[in-house]
Amino acid sequence: MASSLFRTKSIDRLLAEAGATGERTLKRTLGGWSLVALGIGGIIGAGIFVRTAAAIGLKEALASAGTVVLEPIDALVVRVPEGHQGDVLADLASRRGRVQRTDMLDDGIALVAHLVGQTLRVALPEGVQLCEVPQQERRAEIEFQFALQPTRVDALLQLLHAHDVVPDRHGFGFVQRLEGLMTGLIDLTYRHDGRWYVLDYKSNRLPRYDAAALHEAMRHSEYDLQALIYTLALHRWLRFRLGDASDGGAYDYGRDFGGIRYVFSRGIALEAAAGAPLAGVHARQFDPRLVHALDALFAGERA
């Protein structure tokens, strides 16, 4: 049967059959059912083609654009009063040249500028705006790598579930043990009033951006596990650079780590009434016992 599927005919034979007459020859006209079948086939084929082309186009666009939203947020240095948005927009426009195929972004530049402005000026739980954090007190896109010693998946999930992290996950496919190199990229780390923070930007479209909705979004997308890994990465780096307080060093997680901030830029409302609950920002500080136990587990030690 496979050979019949891939059978070919010469051009001369096709022309000869087209001109022949009889019961088993090609018809020059199509009946009603043939036209319907041809239409359905054309619709299905066109749909597949359009979806495939759209997927390829989107993939190509994302690859060309890169981190469109993060680039202006991470690189922008704001030194203007709050009301002078023109300078901010001009700086954003000048940075657009770094992104290839900017014609694809023309319709979205106003939205990006708005999201950037909202993100820079929202008052974070510790009482600071990102535009107020001095450049020497923040680092954008810190890449981290650390060795992951053989770690049993069941032991890892037991620890995570005990602290309400990814409570709905019950495995990692068929993998029973994790091992190798943990790598990642933290959008932003900054220090305020002597405490260190991890911040991640999100542009998710959500029905609401109140605390309950953000908590559900963090759980649904398992951002809580991502945030925990980011926390551990920065914790290890600070301990290495400053020294552990238990060994006479200057760093102590419980004292010096302020927590994680996930900023859902679309949900920030700067015009909200005074005293209204903060929308668009999810804040959490992981229990020191969880961080230390995960650190030991990934290091191959007994927690």
Q: What is the pLDDT along the chain (303 residues), one digit of tens a residue?
A: 444 444 566 666 766 666 666 655 555 555 555 555 555 555 444 444 445 555 555 555 545 444 445 555 555 554 555 555 556 666 656 555 554 555 555 556 677 777 788 888 888 899 888 889 998 999 988 898 888 899 999 999 999 999 999 999 988 888 888 888 888 999 999 999 999 999 999 988 899 989 999 999 999 999 999 999 999 999 999 999 888 888 888 999 999 999 999 999 888 877 665 556 678 899 999 999 999 999 999 988 765
Q: Which two tokens stand for residue 116?
A: 């950037």
pLDDT, position 37: 52
- Rounded to 10 deg, the angle between the 211-220 and 223-242 helix axes is 90
Query: Tell me, what's the pLDDT at 284?
Result: 94
Token pair for residue 101?
């195929």
pLDDT digits over 284-294, tens only?
999 999 999 99
Q: Look at residue 114 in the predicted model and tell me its pLDDT.
A: 76
pLDDT, residue 69, reads: 52
pLDDT at 227: 94
DSSP code string of 45-77:
HHHHHHHHHHHHHHHHHHHHH-STTHHHHHH--
pLDDT value of position 166: 93
What's the chain's average pLDDT? 76
List, by residue number, the catalytic residues.
Answer: 200
Q: Please count the other Cβ atoms lying within 10 Å of the Cβ belonging to residue 148.
A: 16
- By C-alpha distance, which of 284, 277, 286 is closest to 122? 277
* Contact predicate 300/178, CB 8 Å: no
Q: Note whether 197 and 132 are within 8 A (CB).
A: no
Q: In the sheet that 177-192 helps form, which strands lie side by side, from edge to edge?
A: 138-152, 177-192, 195-202, 257-264, 281-284
Question: Which candidate, 226, 239, 223, places its Cα nearest to that of 296?
Answer: 239
Q: Residue written as tokens 């190509």?
A: 60
* Nearby residues of 228 by Cβ (< 8 Å), 6 or more positions away: 160, 165, 286, 290, 291, 294
Query: Which amino acid type is present at position 192?
Result: H
Q: Are 126 and 133 in contact (CB under 8 A)?
A: no
> Within 10 Å of residue 128's Cβ, how many Cβ atoms?
15
Predicted local confidence at residue 50, as pLDDT: 45
The Cα-based distances of 72 to 36, 66, 80, 129, 211 in angstroms read 53, 12, 16, 16, 27
pLDDT at 96: 52
CA gap 119, 76 in Å, rounded: 12
Distance, CA of 100 to CA of 77 (rounded, Å): 22
